[in-house]
A and B are shown apart, each in its own frame.
Chain A
Amino acid sequence: MLQKGTPAPDFELYCTPDQKIRLSEFEGKKLILAFYPADWSPVCSDQMALYNEMLKYFHKYNAEVLGISVDSRWCHMAFAQDRKLHFPLLADFEPKGAMAKSYGVYDEKEGECQRALFVIDENKNIHWSYLSPIGINPGADGIIEALDDLTNSKKS
């Protein structure tokens, strides 16, 4: 798993059926990456629902959140519609798990992303990363602490 201080690897993945998204599009913004095993499974859904409620908080920090799993763009679309998610879900689908592998959070045995969080600063460096036990919703306290830390270190 990539650690603090490492440059965030670039990616280009579908976030809707006909639209791709790249790391470089988030110029001047902080970015939260939430890798998760699968759409529809109970724990992930709660986790994504929580981040969905928190968009307003993330925006206060000039941060955007992206969810990433190996599910296809069509599966993501149905999942996002069903759960009324208002942030992009990236399909790490082909080649399968390529983005997760580049961040060191791919579970080879299950063929899924691990449950992992990254906070990336405005200069596209990883500021914080966390690998959660697969069955546990990691909440958002770690993310907020990392965002606070970034904001404070900038001021001082």
Chain B
Amino acid sequence: MAQKLRPPVSEKDHIQGSVHASVELVEYGDYQCPHCGRAYPIIKRIQKELGDSLKFVFRNFPLSEAHPQAFIAAVAAEAAGRQNAYWEMHDLIFENQESLERLPFVDFAKTLGLDTAKFEEDLADPALAAKVEADFDSGIRSGVNGTPSFFINGVRYDDSWEEKRLLEKLKKSVIKN
């Protein structure tokens, strides 16, 4: 039986693309996971290809024991989100994945022109840590067993996420809808 996304996507999620898109792709990812790093440009190209037909959602699934900076990276993206720069930070983190060990998040905030004092305050806000933990919790309940894990229109996608295969599957879902 295919596993279902729990809870479904809501306004609490970070959504990229049209809310009314016919296909919804959710990724559970870890900012320090090399596979997620490899998936990042693939998703970008797929978003470009599908345009308004695709809604993309990223939920955090940091494996902190294996990746010591994954959790704080997730909080950093949420903190940037408070200054309307969630996706900009998301992109910067993945594009500089190899540098995360030296905790470059405040520099990233500076690069994005954010209020760094506010950003640093938010980095330490337990509410944002709780949000990342809630994502992790939803991942567990949705049957996420590693990263990246994908859900298409709320159903677990277990096939390969190499560009051609994933794009094909998403295109088929567009047609069906």
Interface residues of A (CB under 8 A from B): 46-47, 49-50, 52-54, 57, 83-84, 86, 137-141, 144-145
Residues of B within 8 A of A83 (CB): 65-66
Cβ-defined contact, B140 with A47, below 8 A: no
Residue pairs across A and B with Cβ atoms less than 8 A apart, 8 shown, are A49-B65, A50-B145, A53-B64, A53-B65, A139-B144, A141-B141, A141-B142, A141-B143
Residues of B within 8 A of A141 (CB): 3, 140-143
CA–CA, A50 to B142, complex, Å?
14
Nearest-Cβ distance from residue A23 to partner chain B, whole angstroms: 26
Q: Please, which residue of chain B has its CB at the minimum distance from the CB of A49?
A: B66
CA–CA, A84 to B65, complex, Å?
7
Beta-carbon contacts of B23-65 to A below 8 Å, as 1s and 0s?
A: 0000000000000000000000000000000000000000111
Beta-carbon contacts of B138-163 to A below 8 Å, as 1s and 0s?
A: 00111111100000000000000000
Per the 8 Å Cβ criterion, residues 51-102 of B in contact with A are 63-66
Which 4 pairs, one residue from A and one from B, show the smallest C-beta to C-beta distance?
Answer: A139-B145, A137-B145, A141-B143, A139-B143
User: What count of chain B residues pass the 8 Å CB interface test?
Assistant: 14
Residues of A within 8 A of B141 (CB): 141, 144-145
Cβ-defined contact, B145 with A47, below 8 A: yes
Cβ-defined contact, B65 with A57, below 8 A: no
Cβ-defined contact, B65 with A52, below 8 A: yes
Known contacts A139-B145, A141-B3: A54-B140 contact under CB 8 Å: yes
Cβ-defined contact, A46 with B145, below 8 A: yes
CA–CA, A31 to B123, complex, Å?
36
Residues of B within 8 A of A50 (CB): 63, 145-146
Per the 8 Å Cβ criterion, residues 125-148 of B in contact with A are 136-137, 140-146
Residues of B within 8 A of A54 (CB): 140
CA–CA, A57 to B142, complex, Å?
15
CA–CA, A44 to B3, complex, Å?
20
Q: Please, which residue of chain B has its CB at the minimum distance from the CB of A141?
A: B143
Residues of B within 8 A of A138 (CB): 145
Residues of B within 8 A of A86 (CB): 65
